[in-house]
Structures are given as structure tokens and as C-alpha cells.
């Protein structure tokens, strides 16, 4: 069994951090299952990776906001005879704006993707890992997980859930040879800001990390068996605030930061709605 290929399933592999996680894991010899909605993107990435590394890569087009999707994914893997070594729950999105005026169906879809699909996939795949006593789960949370985030309230709350679940599972699984890691990036170059309608301020822009850096640090931390990985010294320092400052100050600061980025045409429209 130790000679089995290490299959990694990566959700949200069609862009940003997920695509870079795929490149890093491929460079370490993992076989890959790439999952997202945009199948042509997955096929292009699979082709690129296979031209460089001698590994197998499968692609699966799935909308993980769909409640049946996690079970469908597990059945597709079973049909293809794939035993999952590593699950990377990376697919996710954010929305900025007032909680009371953002479209409720998008807020609920965010919970379905960031929380429900991640939990279902973990629940479906962890038992096999525990049985085999190897592998694990890399969950992409965020530095947003460490405090409340006014004007991105649901997004911050979903990431707090991801961090909490990952830490708990880390403790449950570690004595059985299985690692669960929460990767908590700060602002990172990807398609996230366009989807979330976030515009990074001139001060923040130079501090953005690349998705490639985040992915490399994330995989290193996962393979080292860490419970929490915060890429970048600045991001790590930022999370110290939530440990040592009173909650009232932390949430006001987070609100001010988001409000500064929130003022824009979309937000004005939300205010008027």
C-alpha cells in the first residue's frame, strides 16, 4: 500500500491558489484530480502539468454549490479506482458589501461552497485516510478566520468555521497518521478580488502575495504536519492582533479596513436597494 500513488483531489483548481497548489503537488509526484466548474481551464492545466511531470491527472467539472456534488465526486473517484491520499478543499469565494443588502442567494451559495461542500468532502474522504493511516486534508481558510469582518460578514464567518473545523479534525486524526491543516492566506493575487468585488487600496497592493508563494508554503506546512499555516510574516503578525487586542478593537479595525475598500459603485447600489 505504501507504493500506491498519492492521489490529491484539489477543488477550485481552475485558477489562483488552487491551480498553484496543483503545480506544487505535481512537482512532488502526487497524481491529481482537478475539480472546478470551468472544465476547459482544468484541461489546459492538466495538459501543462503532464508536459512537465510524469504523473496522472484527471479532471472533473463540478459545481460544488450543488448539494449532491460531493457525493457525485466520491462516486466518480470510486468508478475510476482512485483512493484519495490528500484532499485539498480550496474552492471558495467572498462577497463584500452590507450583510442586509447583498443578494441572499449568493450569500447562501457561499455557505454551500465554503462550508457545506468542504465539510461533506472531508466527512466522505477522511474515513478512508484513517483506515489506511496515511494522507490528510489541506483546507484553505484565510486570515479572515481570526476575527469578525464587517462588510464581508458571511465570508469571514465561513472562514472562521473552516479554521475551527480543521483544528478540531487535526487533533482527532493526528494520532492515526493523518494530517489536517488549515492554510490561512492573507490578500493574494488571484481572481478572488474580482469575484468578491474587492479593490485593494494602493497601500495594500504591494503587500499582496502571489498564489504560487502561498501554495508552496501551504504544501510545505501540510507535509510537515502543521495544524495552521499562515503564509507571510506580515499576515502572521496581523493575526496576533486578534489574540492580544480586545475584540471590540479588532472588529472595528476590520470594519474600517473593509469599509475603506467597500466604497464603490456596487456598494452605493446596495445601500440604495
Ligand X SMILES: NC(=O)c1ccc[n+]([C@@H]2O[C@H](COP(=O)([O-])OP(=O)(O)OC[C@H]3O[C@@H](n4cnc5c(N)ncnc54)[C@H](OP(=O)(O)O)[C@@H]3O)[C@@H](O)[C@H]2O)c1
Q: Which residues bind ligand X (CB under 6 A)?
A: 11-18, 36-38, 41, 62-65, 90-94, 113, 140, 142, 185, 187-188, 190-192, 195, 211
Distances (CA, A) of 23 to 40, 50, 54, 185, 230: 17, 10, 12, 18, 20
Nearer to ligand X, 41 or 134 (CB): 41
Backbone Cα Rg of the chain: 18
Whose cell is 448539494? That residue is: 67
Tell me which of 30, 151, 155, 222 is the catalytic residue: 155
Nearer to ligand X, 47 or 133 (CB): 47
Q: How far is the CB of 34 from ligand X (least distance, A)?
A: 9
Nearer to ligand X, 63 or 223 (CB): 63
DSSP of 81-103: TPPEEEEEE-------S-TTTS-
**31 DSSP β-pair partners:** 7
| Cβ proximity of 163 and 229 under 8 Å | no
| Cβ proximity of 32 and 54 under 8 Å | no
155 is catalytic: yes
Q: How far is the CB of 18 from ligand X (least distance, A)?
A: 5
- Nearest residue relative to ligand X (C-beta): 16
Q: How far is the CB of 30 from ligand X (least distance, A)?
A: 18
Nearer to ligand X, 130 or 148 (CB): 148
Helix (H) or strand (E) holding 61: strand 57-61
Q: How far is the CB of 235 from ligand X (least distance, A)?
A: 9
Exposure string over 60-84, b if 16+ CB within 10 A, otherwise e: bebebbeeebbeebbeebeeeebbb
Q: How far is the CB of 87 from ligand X (least distance, A)?
A: 14
| Cβ proximity of 183 and 218 under 8 Å | yes
Nearer to ligand X, 201 or 268 (CB): 201
Q: In terms of residues, how long is the chain?
A: 273
Which residues does the annotation mark as catalytic?
155
Amino acid at each position: 500500500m505504501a507504493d500506491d500513488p498519492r492521489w490529491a483531489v484539489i477543488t477550485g483548481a481552475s485558477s489562483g491558489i488552487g491551480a498553484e497548489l496543483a503545480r506544487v503537488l505535481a512537482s512532488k509526484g502526487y497524481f491529481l484530480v482537478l475539480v472546478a466548474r470551468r472544465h476547459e481551464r482544468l484541461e489546459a492545466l492538466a495538459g501543462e502539468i503532464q508536459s512537465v511531470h510524469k504523473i496522472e491527472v484527471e479532471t472533473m467539472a463540478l459545481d460544488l454549490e450543488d448539494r449532491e456534488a460531493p457525493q457525485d465526486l466520491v462516486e466518480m473517484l470510486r468508478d475510476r479506482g482512485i483512493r484519495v491520499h490528500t484532499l485539498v478543499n480550496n474552492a471558495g469565494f467572498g462577497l463584500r458589501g452590507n450583510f442586509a443588502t447583498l443578494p441572499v442567494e449568493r450569500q447562501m451559495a457561499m455557505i454551500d461552497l465554503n462550508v457545506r461542500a468542504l465539510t461533506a468532502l472531508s466527512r466522505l474522504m477522511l474515513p478512508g485516510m484513517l483506515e489506511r493511516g496515511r494522507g490528510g486534508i489541506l483546507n484553505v481558510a484565510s486570515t479572515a478566520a481570526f476575527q469578525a469582518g464587517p462588510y464581508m460578514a458571511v465570508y469571514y464567518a465561513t472562514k472562521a468555521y473552516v479554521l475551527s473545523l480543521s483544528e478540531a479534525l487535526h487533533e482527532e486524526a493526528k494520532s492515526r497518521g493523518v494530517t489536517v491543516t488549515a492554510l490561512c492566506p492573507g490578500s493574494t493575487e488571484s481572481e478572488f478580488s474580482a469575484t468578491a468585488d474587492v479593490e485593494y487600496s494602493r497601500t495594500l497592493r504591494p503587500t499582496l502575495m502571489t498564489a504560487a508563494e502561498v501554495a508552496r508554503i501551504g504544501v510545505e506546512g501540510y507535509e510537515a504536519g502543521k495544524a495552521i499555516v499562515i503564509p507571510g510574516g506580515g499576515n502572521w503578525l496581523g493575526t496576533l492582533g486578534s489574540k492580544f487586542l480586545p475584540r471590540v478593537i479588532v472588529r472595528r479595525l476590520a470594519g474600517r479596513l473593509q469599509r475603506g475598500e467597500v466604497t464603490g459603485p456596487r456598494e452605493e447600489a446596495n445601500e440604495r436597494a
